[in-house]
Structure 1
Amino acid sequence: MQIGVLGPLVVQVAGTSVVPTAAKPRQMLALLAVNAGREVGMATLVEELWDDRPPTGPAQVVQTYVKQLRRALAGAVDVPCGAPGPRELLRRGHTGYTLDVPAPAIETEDFARLAESGLRQAGLRAAGHGDDPEAAARLLRRALGVWRGPVFADVRTGPVLRAEALRLDEARQEVLEARMTADLRLGRHAEILGELASLAERFPFQENLHALLMVALYRNGRSWQALEAFRRLRATCARELGIEPSARLQRLHQAILSSDPRLDTHLADVDTGLVVL
């Protein structure tokens, strides 16, 4: 079975999609898919599907959706003797239901495995002692390549799936920043400048992105634009949040003003006030 949520929902059995067109069964399948192999309790299903406004007899409605999903599974798989059927693939447990498929290929697990390996190579995991920016950039780029679009792109999401989407988006953001940091360490400031500028525009409060952009601009001989990037961030923080940029970013600003020679090679750790590269 193929399971993917990093973009439009994908649940395929033997190459055949079992994703329903109706919104609520699709939403329920998305929740079961992102928890494949783990039981999702009835209370969680009801919270996701209806939040705090469930219908009368929500368990019966959930059972109706389960029947629809099992019919889709039955239509997608030619069950040989002894192989699990629809009721085994979508199994009722003590408190809810489990999408219990043998050896599924799960997109989020591929992303997590590649991301963890890349972050270790970048020296960003306590368990890893790597300092190989080339390997880190390669692995992190592969992790980001698993994504096909926004999480649950074609699924109506309730509170449970929204929380899961936020978790996955935060993980992607960490990987993206680590990959661009590795690229900067490898001297690829010109190649990633456009991407950094676009991301800083999309995420105006992400200080790490702005710090990386400022360094890339400086290394491309555009100090004035690096200073302008700081000025815009400072104005946005003051206007929208009533705060100043962090002391770390202000020290980076001062380093650019003074043409600190460390900006041309490697940067020290956070305690010295620059950027981890």
Structure 2
Amino acid sequence: MAVLVLGRPAVRGGGVTRHPARRMVRILLGVLAVRANRALPLEWVVDALWPDKPPPSAAANVRTHLAELRRILANLAPGGPCIVTSRDGYVLAAAPDAVDVTRFQRLVREGRELRAHGENAAAAHSLEHAVGLWRGPVMAGLPVPDVVRPDVTVLEEQRVCAIEDLAEVRLALGLRAELVAALAGLVVEYPLRERLWRLLVAALAASGRRSEALAVYRRLVRVLEVELGVAPSAATTSLYEAVRDGRA
């Protein structure tokens, strides 16, 4: 892998990881990586680097930052990702596994396909690798420019969904003890993700901790009522009733 943006933007190659020294170059690397293999128009790049008031020399400055980024890529990842100029703008052209964003998305798709075919152990392996690519928030340490904010929002949602998928597969594999602790932390981090709560209830029940499972459900009811003014979904309620009645 050569370009990293699921955390601090960096370029990795030959056993070396380099975070560009100049902040503008780090932002440029981040927005290009988030939109890997998709064109980023010059005006979008300018908006990303100077969200308030671009200088008169903005276009020339962009070319300077691009030249520096190209040098870094060429030195650390020769023959790997490169920045291509097209009539539609600038593109970080890269193979799917050469950018952590696209590798993450490939591994998630692979994990879900394996899960659909009942290959839970292999699915868990792919999903663990996908989730493990995240070293922190997208473009950690930098402001997320408005031009890529929708892309970042989608990525963050994909990450949480992948975490949920992984927890579900681990539960199917019978990995209950370690799962309970992980899910207990995740419902604190993502209190409005009902699927995580449901998985925690299921993991507790499967571990023989029925009273704790019922208590978790009651906590979820309070959270949803206070924060969203809604009740748990039918799927969660059905699980609760099964645990309550000793059927799960």
Task: Report TM bin, short chain.
Answer: 0.7 to 0.9
2:66 pairs with 1:69 = yes
Counterparts of 1:76 and 1:91, CA distance in 2: 12
Counterparts of 1:75 and 1:247, CA distance in 2: 53
AA at the equivalent of 2:125: R
Note if contact 1:5-1:108 (Cα within 8 Å) is conserved in structure 2: yes
AA at the equivalent of 2:70: L
The farther-off stretch of 201-210 and 4-13 is 4-13
Residue in structure 1 matched with residue 54 of structure 2 by the alignment: 55
Counterparts of 2:18 and 2:130, CA distance in 1: 26
List alignment gaps of at least 5 residues for structure 2.
none
Summarize the alignment of residues 76-91 of structure 1 with structure 2, pairs less than 5 Å apart: 77=74, 89-91=82-84
The SS at the match of 2:90 is strand
Shift of 1:154: 2.6
Shift of 1:25: 3.2
The share of aligned pairs that are identical, in percent, is: 31
Counterparts of 1:97 and 1:191, CA distance in 2: 45
Counterparts of 1:71 and 1:254, CA distance in 2: 61
Summarize the alignment of residues 89-168 of structure 1 with structure 2, pairs less than 5 Å apart: 89-100=82-93, 105-123=98-116, 130-168=117-155
AA at the equivalent of 1:30: G
Counterparts of 1:230 and 1:198, CA distance in 2: 15
Residue in structure 1 matched with residue 230 of structure 2 by the alignment: 243
Note if contact 2:48-2:147 (Cα within 8 Å) is conserved in structure 1: yes
Question: TM-score of the superposition, structure 2-length normalised?
Answer: 0.85
Note if contact 2:201-2:214 (Cα within 8 Å) is conserved in structure 1: yes
Note if contact 1:3-1:11 (Cα within 8 Å) is conserved in structure 2: yes
Shift of 1:185: 1.1
Shift of 1:92: 3.4
Counterparts of 2:202 and 2:187, CA distance in 1: 13
The SS at the match of 1:122 is helix
Counterparts of 2:97 and 2:123, CA distance in 1: 27
Counterparts of 2:122 and 2:93, CA distance in 1: 35
Distance change >3 Å, CA 23–CA 170, structure 1 → 2: same
2:26 pairs with 1:8 = no
AA at the equivalent of 2:62: Y
Distance change >3 Å, CA 37–CA 186, structure 1 → 2: closer
Question: TM-score of the superposition, structure 1-length normalised?
Answer: 0.77
Shift of 1:50: 4.2
Shift of 1:100: 4.3
Counterparts of 1:231 and 1:35, CA distance in 2: 42
Note if contact 1:25-1:65 (Cα within 8 Å) is conserved in structure 2: no
Residue in structure 2 matched with residue 127 of structure 1 by the alignment: none
AA at the equivalent of 1:93: S
Q: Which has the larger radius of gyration?
A: 1
Residue in structure 1 matched with residue 157 of structure 2 by the alignment: 170
Note if contact 2:25-2:68 (Cα within 8 Å) is conserved in structure 1: no
Q: Deviations over 1:85-133 (max 9, x none)?
A: xxxx54433242233468982212222222111101111xxxxxx1121
Shift of 1:15: 6.3
AA at the equivalent of 1:110: R
Distance change >3 Å, CA 54–CA 94, structure 1 → 2: farther
The farther-off stretch of 64-73 and 1-10 is 64-73
List alignment gaps of at least 5 residues for structure 1.
124-129, 264-277
Q: Deviations over 1:3-41 (max 9, x none)?
A: 111111112466666753333332122112333343211
Counterparts of 1:18 and 1:188, CA distance in 2: 37
Which structure: greater helix fraction?
A: 2
The SS at the match of 2:125 is helix
How many pairs does the alignment contain? 245
